[in-house]
Amino acid sequence: MSSILSKEQKILDEIENLKNENNDLGKELVSKELIIENLNNSNIQLSTENTELKKSNQNLITNCQQLLSTNQTYETTIQNQQKKIKEKEILIKEYERVISNILDKLNIKDESVANTSESRTINTK
């Protein structure tokens, strides 16, 4: 009879050990589920931040394109203004030459015309 009691006690001890192991595994499972939930939350947060960064990046690209376009417009305007300035300088020199020829034909030496021509040459440099 004592051997039957001993076997029963062993079985009861084994059952108790299995219950303890089951409780430990349950706690480990809960812990791993919490870790997974935290990872999922982190993943959602990173995904949201990634989306926001993509939008911000797209806005920066759009702004950069607008700035490049504006810069191109300014460069074109500057080139056109420089072309007009050169055309006007050519006209001024032509007018000065015509005036000088007229004065030469009239045998008049006008120092102010000569000085104006020199000052324009200096200013354009």
Alpha helices in the chain (DSSP H): 2-105, 111-124
| pTM for this predicted structure | 0.53
Number of structural domains the chain divides into = 1
- The per-residue pLDDT string of the chain (125 residues; one tens digit each, 9 = 90 and over) reads 678 778 888 999 999 999 999 999 999 999 999 999 999 999 999 999 999 999 999 999 999 999 999 999 999 999 999 999 999 999 999 999 999 999 999 987 655 555 555 555 555 54
* Cα–Cα distances in angstroms (integers) from residue 88 to residues 4, 82, 93, 108, in the given order: 123, 10, 9, 26
Domain that holds residue 68: 2-124
Distance of CA 80 to the CA centre of its chain: 31
